[in-house]
């Protein structure tokens, strides 16, 4: 009996599924081949002469398509450069100091400061890339910038520059640039080089040595590239500070007279080298009495207390009729002196020549 009930339950379920399948087939055959009904816009009837005209239907505005602009990587956002004093980057010394002050790897910090300050300024990128032979004309840099971002061409140049600095065998050191090299700079927006060799002032530089042994110098004080030979660039004024005068060596007292301050030196704090006699406070009698007899100041003859009365001027006696000579003049002697003898007449008055002894002609 129990088996019969189980069989009956299964039969009911199987029969229900068969019935559901038959209904599905009938509905599917009904819709197959039926035309697809497409809703069409119902055109309004034309207005009649007597009917009131309906208001015109205003079409909906076309949707505004917003095209997303490509974003600019933060490192490529352009920052205006400071070219004061004809420098490629007037603030490069401060940037370099901040990057290397606490760096464990100075070479990595030097590389980083060059990459960072070339990515955010297209002109510096062109100038420094040109020094490495990666860009032909450093003054043709505006095409490297698109608005406030480095252009696609500029970004491609940046990655080539980064590759050159990261290449195997490239090293970074800090050294003084050659004093007899050519400095470079920017004047009125034009990048160029000095007309003559010679660099003055602080020559501390980033020295980049490539795998082939070639060297690129970039001075820390200004970001200027230093060229060992005159480059093919326009001649411009460059950052060339006047050399500071060398301080004169300070003169000090010699070892045998270490006390005092030059030029007044002494061998003992108790001895004064000034010419003040032998007494500790100056004056007094010297050890060498010299000629004559010494008279103490108390026994010296002093002038009387009464003021001196000058005698009357002398009286000048002159003969009668002779005017008195003016005061302060010397009278003529009396009698008058004899006249001076005349010079001998020359033997040859035409030439005014007198033959010397032993000769007949001049």
Tens of pLDDT along 154-199? 999 999 999 999 999 999 999 999 999 999 999 999 999 999 999 9
HSE-up of residue 180 (Cα within 13 Å, Cβ side): 0
Q: Where are the beta strands (DSSP E) in the chain?
A: 145-146, 149-150, 171-176, 184-187, 190-193, 204-209, 215-219, 225-226, 259-261, 264-266
Instruction: Give 186's strand partners.
Output: 191
Task: Give the lowest-confidence range in 43-57, 108-122, 165-179, 332-346.
Answer: 43-57
Q: Measured over all CA atoms, what is the biggest interatomic distance in the chain, rounded to whole angstroms? A: 205
Banded model confidence at residue 282, pLDDT cuts 50, 70, 90: low
d(CA 126, CA 75): 16
pLDDT for the residue 352: 62
């Amino acid at each position: 009996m129990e088996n019969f009930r189980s069989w009956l339950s299964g039969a009911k379920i199987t029969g229900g599924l068969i019935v559901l399948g038959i209904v599905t087939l009938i509905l599917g055959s009904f819709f197959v081949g039926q035309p697809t009904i497409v809703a069409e816009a119902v055109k309004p009837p034309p207005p009649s002469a007597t009917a009131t005209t309906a208001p015109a239907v205003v079409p909906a505005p076309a949707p505004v398509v917003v095209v997303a602009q490509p974003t600019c990587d933060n490192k490529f956002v352009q920052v205006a450069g400071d070219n004061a004093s004809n420098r490629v980057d007037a603030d490069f010394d401060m940037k370099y100091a901040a990057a290397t002050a606490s760096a464990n790897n100075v070479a990595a910090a030097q590389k980083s400061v060059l990459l960072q300050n070339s990515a955010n300024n297209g002109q510096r990128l062109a100038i420094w890339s040109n020094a490495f032979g990666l860009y032909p004309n450093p003054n043709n840099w505006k095409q490297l910038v698109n608005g406030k971002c480095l252009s696609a061409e500029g970004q491609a140049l940046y990655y080539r520059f980064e590759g050159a600095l990261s290449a195997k065998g490239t090293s970074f050191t800090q050294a003084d640039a050659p004093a007899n090299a050519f400095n470079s700079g920017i004047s009125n927006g034009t990048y160029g080089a000095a007309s003559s060799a010679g660099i003055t002032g602080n020559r501390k530089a980033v020295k980049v040595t490539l795998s082939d042994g070639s060297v690129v110098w970039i001075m820390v004080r200004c970001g200027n590239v230093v060229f060992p030979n005159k480059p093919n660039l326009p001649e411009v004024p460059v950052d060339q500070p006047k050399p500071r005068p060398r301080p004169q060596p300070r003169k000090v007292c010699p070892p045998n007279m270490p006390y005092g301050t030059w030029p007044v030196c002494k061998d003992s704090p108790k001895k004064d080298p000034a010419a003040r006699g032998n007494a500790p406070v100056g004056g007094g009698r010297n050890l060498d009495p010299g000629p004559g007899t010494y008279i103490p100041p108390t026994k010296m003859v002093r002038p009387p207390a009464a003021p001196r009365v000058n005698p009357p001027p002398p009286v000048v006696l002159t003969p009668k009729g002779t005017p008195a000579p003016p005061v302060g003049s010397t009278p003529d002697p009396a009698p008058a002196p004899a006249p001076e003898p005349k010079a001998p007449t020359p033997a040859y008055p035409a030439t005014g020549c007198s033959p010397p002894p032993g000769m007949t002609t001049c």
